[in-house]
Structure 1
Amino acid sequence: MRILFGLLLIILAPAPLVAQTTDGLRSQPFVFTHVTVIDATGASAKPDMTVVIIGDRITTLGKSRKVRVPANAQVVDATGKYLIPGLWDMHVHVFRNASQRPPNEYYFPLFIANGITGVRDMWTKLDKVAQVELWRKQFTERPGTVPRFGAVGTIVDGLPATWPNSDTVSTADEARRMVDTLKAGGVDFVKVYWNLSREAYFAIADQTKKQRIPFAGHVPISVSALEASDAGQRSIEHLDGISLACSTEEERLSKIKPSDLPPGKYQQQVFDTYDEQKCARLFSHFAKNSTWQVPTLSIFQRFNIDPNTLANDERLKYIPMAEREEWKRFITRLEKRTLEQNAQRRLQVAFKLIGGMRRAGVEFMAGTDLGNEYLYPGFSLHDELVLLVQAGLTSMEALQAATQNPAKFLGRLDSLGTIEKGKIADLVMLDANPLEDISNTRRINAVVVNGRYLPKEALQRMLAEVEATANRVKPR
């Protein structure tokens, strides 16, 4: 897929862009006029606004009748359009470490075309950090060809490892040394995983504090969700361990391996013993400890979709042929219903958990777990926002989960995440109001990446080239 990068630069070239400086920033002001701004701060939509961008920054933001447009500016009349901050997918897997194959660079134009300007990669091994730094350099030098890599983390698991090629530790000393190694190697956070022992997990929690590097990820089998929150885990992915922590039978069930029971029986026992008061106590800890949640509802929703619908999804045309063939194995397993017997109930419980956490003041981020079958780069983030609203978030809260909240989580709210004067111009222009219907985030008219304007025509060319490359038969 590396050939796609050269092609992407070619197809972007004809777009009506103004001059760029050598560092990729615009040398001429760019202006949206008469646009409705949804700034993602929680404020109401602001109609008839003018937004002036110089370089990579929003320099002026105000009512169109009051803003003076620079004489040499490129101006887009955005009457009837809606401007939101660039979106983030806070749980992606760009690298394919388990199979040791090249990274999925075809994701990048699909991210941009879908308004995803930033990502958090959840499994970047040490030998891949240099590649991420190259992408970060490319982001500033050639905006619009790659997303912003806000953070990358490395999986640390116990034995046996859940995934091939994972970094593993068995003791507290090994765990501490691993944290030191990852910090020295340039990783942004440590991703804890299911099979970590208690001593290794709490050693990671302690050593990351000393090294001033966060840890996030799964809740290991050996640790409760409450303990994880109190230990300082920054985010919990997939609502991991939370339904168990809400069970009146948590102590008994935590000693059982789910694989020791028939498929679906373990989850059924967890769901049958759900206790709302126990949940409420847990959620108050999450809120007090600022334990963020990345529910990745899209990964659960796949099990509720008819196999024929999955197999005929029109977005498959953007997925490389070889990868599509691999995905068919998921369809086969789904048809046999061996993966998940309680799929619909699991999603219902997830919605209940999210509703309870929202009422308790727990904060959320949108993430998809991209890298799994039938999750689509960029597209699935919009599906995730719809699911978050179905779970009880307002449209504004769902939008914030993909804009303001990631910036806050990453410590970048001073420059990213909302539309305000002085902030970086990562923006998405929509044809319809996402506060009226969150699915309107799919109705993308233009994207601005680090100050570079990409109109609909450029985005459509990007999609067309990805499709052509994905369906190109390689010579034998």
Structure 2
Amino acid sequence: MKKRKLLGVGISLSLPLLLLLPAQSERNGSPLSAANAPAVVIDGAQIWDGTGRPPIRDAILVIRGARVEALGPRGSVQAPQDAVTIPAKGKTIIPGLINTHGHVGMTKGLKSARENYTRDNVVSQLKQYARYGVTTIMSLGTDFEPMSEIRGAARPEEPVRATVFTAGRGFTGKNGYPAVLPGNAGVPREVDTIEEVQSQVQELARQKVDMVKIWVDDHWGHYSKIRPELYRAIIAEAHKHNLRVMAHLFYLEDAKELVKAGLDGMAHSVRDREVDGELIQALKARKTFAVPTLVREESTFIYAEPPAFLDDPFFSRWADPLVVRQLKDPAYGARIKSDPDFSRYPGQLKTGQKNLKKLWDAGVTIALGSDSGPPARFQGFFEHRELELMVQAGLTPAQALLAATSNAAEALKISRDFGTLEKGKRADLILLDADPLQDIRNTRKIHKIWIGGREVD
């Protein structure tokens, strides 16, 4: 087999095929595969399967290899005689969480830099997502060469980790946001002509990326924003190569123009004002999905004073103690408050929450995304906080969970294998000690996690 190369001449295998390789090794009986382990039976839990159907109470779920072999009410499922049985009365099973907007590899401690992007750092952060039941992520626009050997699901010989999809390196304008921010030099592709756009999109097509990313923002006028003719050309060229496009955006008017140009996904909420009927109609007509990233907005101001979650065991168990100490330092809070736009940030979160509720009620597809991965945006923990903020915005717990499972899988076009618990699909699931349909914070009461049928340590 040829080496899968992300940032060079091309990739010899597409990602959907790569994701099937572990399953193929299971069928061939490889000694490294999960197929040699006994089946696992989870006995007596409630199953919320992510399809939108009512929960199955007192259910049986069977995992064999990387797949869900069977599930259903007691009496409808035959448990294999050789199975390991996990008693689960009073517990709830949900699909693994999918983050449609995250980042890996760029951060160490509270510093983001290209030199941090190593294979070991990427894998370490994918393991961190896995510990929190975030079983799949889209790494959106900040990936380099090590991703070529990591992308997709973990191979049988690898430690258990989250499955990762990639957008390679995203686009901005020449000297544009966010390339000019500290640590971001050389990260986005900076383009200034249509010819540069076409050449660089073609390079991404050879790499067989899973998405194309554009940044369309000037951060309240402080930085340069990519010109409309360039982002229109990016979208058009990407679609010529059957690549879909997500955009970091902020302003309502930019959102309208991007969707008009054919944008496939909004990577953030509109945050400058309330969305209107024109945008809603365009999103629905184009079938463009929206990713709120509410917790990203919260992260812009919450560290002005040490937030209570820094002492929450669900957070602190996997947090770097040095980072926690730095975030508790009054000097760090003072730096946050010294930002000239600090007073705007709480309002951006409120606007994003209002727009989430309005879009959901109008029937726009909403997918969970957290923008976790940059400094102080904690991978794994932030996805659970995003669910909480979505419910605070007016969604029900079931609606927030749909956004994090089946909706997210549909947005990423991976629903054949991901996003719901159904016979034959990947066994990406979380066993919870309490019912998240009653209280969304119960997603934090994790008992066990499986990714591709393998239990997360």
Smaller-chain TM-score bracket: 0.7 to 0.9
* Structure 1 stretch displaced more, 214-223 or 417-426: 214-223
Q: Distance in 1 between matches of 2:249 and 2:345?
A: 21
- Indicate how the Cα distance of structure 1 residues 158 and 303 shifts in structure 2: closer, same or farther if over 3 A, else same: closer
Q: Distance in 1 between matches of 2:320 and 2:388?
A: 26
Q: Distance in 1 between matches of 2:332 and 2:245?
A: 31
The structure whose Rg is larger is 1
- 1:250 matched to which residue of 2? none
Q: Distance in 1 between matches of 2:253 and 2:371?
A: 22
Instruction: Please say if 1:65 is aligned against 2:49.
Output: no
Q: Does structure 1 conserve the Cα–Cα contact (< 8 Å) formed by 2:105 and 2:125?
A: no
TM-score between both structures, scaled by the size of structure 1: 0.78
Instruction: Please say if 1:22 is aligned against 2:19.
Output: no
- 1:158 matched to which residue of 2? 173
Q: Does structure 2 conserve the Cα–Cα contact (< 8 Å) formed by 1:333 and 1:339?
A: no
- Indicate how the Cα distance of structure 1 residues 312 and 338 shifts in structure 2: closer, same or farther if over 3 A, else same: farther
Instruction: Please say if 1:140 is aligned against 2:164.
Output: no
Paired residue type of 2:292 = P
Superposed displacement of residue 102, structure 1: 2.6
Q: Distance in 2 between matches of 1:427 and 1:215?
A: 28
Between Structure 1 and Structure 2, the one with more helix by share is: 1
Q: Does structure 1 conserve the Cα–Cα contact (< 8 Å) formed by 2:290 and 2:364?
A: yes
Superposed displacement of residue 127, structure 1: 2.7
Instruction: Return the match for 2:420 from 412, 418, 421.
Output: 418
- 1:180 matched to which residue of 2? 202
- SS of equivalent residue, structure 1 residue 117: strand
Please list the CA deviations of residues 18-55 of structure 1 after superposition, one character each: whole Å capped at 9, or x if unmatched. Answer: xx953432322211111110011111111011111111
Superposed displacement of residue 198, structure 1: 1.8
- Indicate how the Cα distance of structure 1 residues 286 and 326 shifts in structure 2: closer, same or farther if over 3 A, else same: farther
Q: Does structure 1 conserve the Cα–Cα contact (< 8 Å) formed by 2:310 and 2:324?
A: no
Please list the CA deviations of residues 449-470 of structure 1 after superposition, one character each: whole Å capped at 9, or x if unmatched. Answer: 101134xxx3xxxxxxxxxxxx
Please list the CA deviations of residues 204-231 of structure 1 after superposition, one character each: whole Å capped at 9, or x if unmatched. Answer: 1111111111111223889721121122
Q: Distance in 2 between matches of 1:299 and 1:220?
A: 12
- 1:266 matched to which residue of 2? none
Instruction: Please say if 1:117 is aligned against 2:135.
Output: yes
Q: Distance in 1 between matches of 2:106 and 2:402?
A: 29
Instruction: Return the match for 2:103 from 93, 100, 105.
Output: 93
- Indicate how the Cα distance of structure 1 residues 37 and 410 shifts in structure 2: closer, same or farther if over 3 A, else same: same
- 2:42 matched to which residue of 1? 32
Please list the CA deviations of residues 247-268 of structure 1 after superposition, one character each: whole Å capped at 9, or x if unmatched. Answer: xxxxxxxxxxxxxxxxxxxxxx
Superposed displacement of residue 337, structure 1: 5.0
- Give the aligned length: 400
Q: Distance in 1 between matches of 2:406 and 2:252?
A: 33
- 1:211 matched to which residue of 2? 241
Superposed displacement of residue 143, structure 1: 6.5
Paired residue type of 1:99 = A
- 2:90 matched to which residue of 1? 80
Q: Does structure 2 conserve the Cα–Cα contact (< 8 Å) formed by 1:40 and 1:419?
A: yes
Q: Distance in 1 between matches of 2:136 and 2:423?
A: 20
- Indicate how the Cα distance of structure 1 residues 57 and 409 shifts in structure 2: closer, same or farther if over 3 A, else same: same
Superposed displacement of residue 92, structure 1: 1.4
- SS of equivalent residue, structure 1 residue 60: strand
Q: Distance in 1 between matches of 2:250 and 2:397?
A: 32
Q: What 5-or-longer segments of structure 1 have no aligned partner?
A: 1-19, 245-270, 459-476
CA RMSD of aligned residues (A): 2.5
Within a 5 Å distance, the mapping from 1:410-449 to structure 2 comes to 410-449=412-451
Q: Does structure 1 conserve the Cα–Cα contact (< 8 Å) formed by 2:129 and 2:162?
A: yes
Q: Percent identity?
A: 27
Superposed displacement of residue 320, structure 1: 4.1
- Indicate how the Cα distance of structure 1 residues 383 and 125 shifts in structure 2: closer, same or farther if over 3 A, else same: closer
Q: Does structure 1 conserve the Cα–Cα contact (< 8 Å) formed by 2:252 and 2:271?
A: no
* Structure 1 stretch displaced more, 442-451 or 25-34: 25-34
Q: Distance in 1 between matches of 2:199 and 2:421?
A: 41
Q: Distance in 2 between matches of 1:343 and 1:38?
A: 35
Please list the CA deviations of residues 429-474 of structure 1 after superposition, one character each: whole Å capped at 9, or x if unmatched. Answer: 00111111111100000011101134xxx3xxxxxxxxxxxxxxxx
Q: Distance in 2 between matches of 1:312 and 1:88?
A: 22
Superposed displacement of residue 81, structure 1: 0.8
Q: Distance in 2 between matches of 1:429 and 1:419?
A: 12
Q: Distance in 1 between matches of 2:376 and 2:65?
A: 37
Q: Does structure 2 conserve the Cα–Cα contact (< 8 Å) formed by 1:88 and 1:403?
A: yes
Please list the CA deviations of residues 170-225 of structure 1 after superposition, one character each: whole Å capped at 9, or x if unmatched. Answer: 01111111100111123222111132222211111111111111111223889721
Q: Distance in 2 between matches of 1:21 and 1:385?
A: 38
Paired residue type of 1:173 = E
Q: Does structure 2 conserve the Cα–Cα contact (< 8 Å) formed by 1:144 and 1:452?
A: no
Q: What 5-or-longer segments of structure 2 have no aligned partner?
A: 1-28, 180-184, 217-224
Superposed displacement of residue 344, structure 1: 2.7
Paired residue type of 1:50 = I
Q: Distance in 1 between matches of 2:319 and 2:132?
A: 15
Within a 5 Å distance, the mapping from 1:365-444 to structure 2 comes to 365-444=367-446
Please list the CA deviations of residues 313-339 of structure 1 after superposition, one character each: whole Å capped at 9, or x if unmatched. Answer: 133564446656876675332233534
Q: Does structure 2 conserve the Cα–Cα contact (< 8 Å) formed by 1:192 and 1:220?
A: no
Q: Distance in 2 between matches of 1:197 and 1:210?
A: 20
- Indicate how the Cα distance of structure 1 residues 53 and 453 shifts in structure 2: closer, same or farther if over 3 A, else same: same
- Indicate how the Cα distance of structure 1 residues 61 and 385 shifts in structure 2: closer, same or farther if over 3 A, else same: same
Q: Distance in 2 between matches of 1:143 and 1:78?
A: 28
Superposed displacement of residue 65, structure 1: 2.2
Q: Distance in 1 between matches of 2:358 and 2:432?
A: 31
Q: Distance in 2 between matches of 1:440 and 1:34?
A: 18
Q: Distance in 1 between matches of 2:233 and 2:371?
A: 27
- 1:338 matched to which residue of 2? 340
Please list the CA deviations of residues 82-117 of structure 1 after superposition, one character each: whole Å capped at 9, or x if unmatched. Answer: 000011122211121862223344323321221111
- 2:259 matched to which residue of 1? 229
Superposed displacement of residue 355, structure 1: 1.4
Q: Does structure 2 conserve the Cα–Cα contact (< 8 Å) formed by 1:157 and 1:193?
A: yes
- SS of equivalent residue, structure 1 residue 26: helix
- SS of equivalent residue, structure 1 residue 89: strand
Q: Distance in 1 between matches of 2:159 and 2:397?
A: 27
Instruction: Return the match for 1:238 from 268, 272, 275.
Output: 268
